[in-house]
A and B are shown apart, each in its own frame.
Chain A
Amino acid sequence: MSKIRVLIAKPGLDGHDRGAKVVARSLRDAGYEVIYTGLRQTPEAIVATAVQEDVDAIGLSILSGAHNTVFPRIIELLKEKGASDIVVFGGGVIPETDIPGLIDAGVAHIFTPGTPTEEVVKFLAEKVTPKNRA
């Protein structure tokens, strides 16, 4: 009985985690195990958590405008830990013009504001297969 595990995190110092919680809930309702770590996570903390929890994907909600540093840093750290198989996706307030750069850096998908949560569920179902091999 394998289950897809997803880490939902909210890096940075700013504001609320409403969006992250909405996504977390809809993923739970779609049968995923969501590890929810709350606000103010550093990239180092997020990656360490992702490895300990052996998640299949990391979803980041970023409102602070720090996306151009946070995403590449996380992808670099995952590489260092030999965990590049973990799919990274994100959402929040990210200008359209920044998206291609993030995709180039290795982010699998950026959801723009107002995306229905079903889209996130669908994306994960297509993109991720749970890891049940040593």
Chain B
Amino acid sequence: MNEFCNKVFSGDVRASARLMRLVDDRAEGYEEYMKEVWKHTGRAHIIGITGAPGAGKSTMTDKLIAKYRSMGKTVGVVAIDPTSPFSGGAILGDRIRMANHATDEGVFIRSVGTRGHLGGLSVSTMDIVAVMDAMGKDVVIIETVGVGQDEVEIAMVADTCIVVTVPGLGDDIQAIKAGIFEIADIFIVNKADREGVERTVKDLEMMLEMVHQRTGWDVQVLKTVASRDEGIDKVVEAIASHAEFFDKNIKAGRMEDRLLHVSYGVVREKIVKEIFKEEEIRALLKSGLDPYTAVEKLWEKRK
């Protein structure tokens, strides 16, 4: 096991890719590897990118990878797309926009399906990010699904959280109401080649004034045209200053909260696995029991 983990820590692509597989599958014994991996984390700067589908998250990620590579930094990307609740299958297509980096050995991109997890991430996301961190990647970028209005888990997982929006805010107002505003460390109005950018920037800045800032960080609103690589330098600068702020003021507490969040997830998985025996519950329900009594029976049986 140590040999396998050491390969991961030395950045071995094949071993790391396999470990991500075990983690994503919750394969038997994956926990033993993760015990080692989590000891080797805390070095990478983790960037979360969220925002509606089509806003330009993948295109932005592609351009950020290029910038970080030109600065000599290695990059990991976790790109999450939705799993079909009906078939359990998924088409993971974010890589299409990052094709330029396919053969760059300093870049590791992993596509992940949500596999039933709500909130824009997969259950495995934090573990996969941890593997990339342990591999030695300097920067890890997480691209969320971007469908729901409740994608706030990213704020727990990422050090710097970027919300990407586009001109013509109307439809996004809902998302903003639902808390997206509070999680943004940097706001980006992408597709600034379109009409209404200035208006959208102003609207956002006005709303930001009314939001309670959790951390004391001064949230910026930036304009980009990701598809033409415009405005990305400013984004990288903003990330760098947030990273500095984060390391000084937030990191210690956040790391603790993050590990707590991982622990909570592990507990939940363990308990569900132990108590939620589908066949047994079905039998109990068929015998006429209500769900509460059925679960109580299983719970007691456990003792």
Contact = CB atoms under 8 A, between A and B. Distances in A.
B91 A131 contact: no
Contacts of B261: none
Given A41-B99, A48-B102, A54-B20, A81 B84 contact: no
Given A1-B115, A83-B14, A28 B90 contact: yes
Interface string A34-58: 1111101110110011011110000
A118 B251 CA distance: 51
A28 B89 contact: yes
Interface in B10-49: 13-15, 17-22, 25-28, 33
A27 interface: yes
B51 interface: no
B108 interface: yes
29 contacts: A1-B26, A1-B115, A5-B21, A27-B89, A29-B87, A29-B89, A31-B87, A33-B83, A33-B89, A33-B90, A33-B111, A35-B95, A36-B91, A36-B92, A37-B95, A37-B96, A37-B99, A38-B99, A41-B99, A44-B102, A45-B102, A48-B103, A51-B14, A52-B13, A54-B18, A132-B21, A132-B22, A134-B15, A134-B18
Q: Is the interface of A mostly helix, strand, loop or mixed?
A: loop
A25 interface: yes
Chain B interface SS verdict (over half): mixed
B93 interface: yes
A118 B57 CA distance: 34
A97 interface: no
Given A53-B111, A132-B27, A36 B96 contact: yes
Contacts, number: 101
B254 interface: no
Interface in B141-164: none
A24 B18 contact: no
Given A41-B102, A45-B103, A53 B89 contact: no
A30 interface: yes
A54 B27 CA distance: 14
A34 B90 contact: yes
B74 to A, nearest CB: 13
Interface in B114-129: 115
A53 B110 contact: yes
Given A28-B87, A36-B91, 9 more contacts: A3-B113, A29-B89, A33-B111, A38-B96, A44-B103, A45-B103, A52-B109, A134-B1, A134-B22
Given A2-B27, A24-B91, A53 B103 contact: no
